[in-house]
Amino acid sequence: MWARFNWYGETLLLTTTIGSGLYNRVKWGQLKFGGKMDSSTRFLHAIEMGVGAWAWGDRIIWNYGGSYTDEDIRGAFDTSLEKGIRLIDTAEVYGRGRSERLIGEFLKETEVPVLLATKFMPYPWRIRKKALLRSLRHSLERLDVESVDLYQIHFPIPPISIESWMNELATAVEEGLTRTVGVSNYKESQMLQAYSALARHKVPLASNQVEYHLLDRRAEKSGLLARCHELDIRLIAYSPLAMGLLTGKYTVDSPPPGMRGRKAARILPKLPSLLKVMTQIGQDQGGKTNAQIALNWLICKGTMPIPGAKNAKQAEQNAGALGWKLSDDQVAALDEASEVLTKNS
């Protein structure tokens, strides 16, 4: 499933472009639901961090069933909830539906309220009307719930237009199948097209989920993050630890396994200078880990990171990024240290 679309991590090589200048005449403030944040999306802005469930069931990239088990994942789920992290982000393609099924099983055994986000993959052959609604209902069956809190388009894949998918998302809201709707991996121009199409239905675009971390700052450098802030679109940062590189556990001599190692080969020799700055800041913050520094940096940028956790220990480490803030000087120091390493555009 991943290979046929040239997946590389969460990056799909099949992309589409929207002509520049298409929205120059749109006065976005007039579409901002009276200039105020829509009440239906406010909850997303109150959440500092969620949990990414990409690895829950994924064998190809994360080695599910080899280096960790369902029991380990259950530990990550329970610990996250215990630490106050209540939003779980998944997708129909994660583990070919296994991620959603696991979450559905866990939900049956917890009384703690959980916020659910999942995604629809707009494969090119999904051209029939209501394809999105059918897929959403299948996700709800796997999750064993009547509705989710956020339903997202996973990638802007042709041939179906962005506007057509937004029309279906609006219908999903109207039918009570999802509380809010969002997009993922949308560039600014694509996001604005989605925002405008939903606004015609008086449905707000709640979020845009993109890769964003200290080694990939394209969301920030391109203006996407600023536009999200302007329009009250919550930017959700996936792979916030750069698939483990920002934890400091990997080196040139000990790279990540499999596909992640091949992807990291170029950056690993250059990484120690950034990790040194992160470690020093962590010590100044009372012993915070590199991972916690990386996550808190994203929170300070006004985003919601959704780090993965394959076991209870990782979930507990992630939670240590909450309840404190980097200083402005520390954020600036991390910006500077990452500048020579980062993808900017």
Higher pLDDT, 152 or 13: 152
**Whether 290 contacts 320, CB under 8 Å:** no
Domain annotation covers residue 48: yes
Query: Strand 178-184 to strand 115-120: parallel, antiparallel, or no bridges (unpaired)?
Result: unpaired
Q: Which domain holds residue 97?
A: 32-245+301-321
Domain annotation covers residue 11: no
pLDDT score of 255? 76
pLDDT score of 35? 55
Look at residue 38 and tell me whether its pLDDT is greater than 50: yes
pLDDT score of 10? 44
Domain annotation covers residue 284: no
What H or E segment, with its residue span, contains residue 103? helix 98-107
**Whether 246 contacts 278, CB under 8 Å:** yes
CATH value at residue 105: 3.20.20.100
**Whether 167 contacts 136, CB under 8 Å:** no
Which of 57-66, 105-114, 119-128, 269-278 has the weakest average pLDDT?
57-66
Domain annotation covers residue 127: yes
Domain annotation covers residue 180: yes
C-alpha to C-alpha distance for 109 and 143, rounded to whole angstroms: 13
Domain annotation covers residue 257: no
Look at residue 344 and tell me whether its pLDDT is greater than 70: no
Is 212 marked active-site?
no
pLDDT score of 265? 76
Which of 53-62, 72-81, 186-195, 204-213 has the weakest average pLDDT?
53-62
**Whether 182 contacts 194, CB under 8 Å:** no
Domain annotation covers residue 309: yes
Domain annotation covers residue 2: no
pLDDT in tens, 1-33: 333 333 333 434 333 333 333 333 334 444 455
- Total-model pTM: 0.88
Q: Cβ neighbours of residue 18 under 8 Å, at least 6 residues apart? A: 187, 189, 190, 193
Q: Which of 64, 68, 94, 238 is catalytic?
A: 94
pLDDT in tens, 297-342: 999 999 999 999 999 999 999 999 999 999 999 999 999 999 988 7
Look at residue 209 and tell me whether its pLDDT is greater than 90: yes
**Whether 324 contacts 296, CB under 8 Å:** yes
b/e map 235-263, b = 16+ CB within 10 Å: bbbbbbbbbbbbbbebeeeebbeebbeeb
Adjacent-strand bridge partners of 343:
216
pLDDT in tens, 216-267: 999 999 999 999 999 999 999 999 999 999 999 888 877 777 777 777 778 8
Q: How many structural domains compose the chain?
A: 1
Segment 153-160 shows an average pLDDT of 96
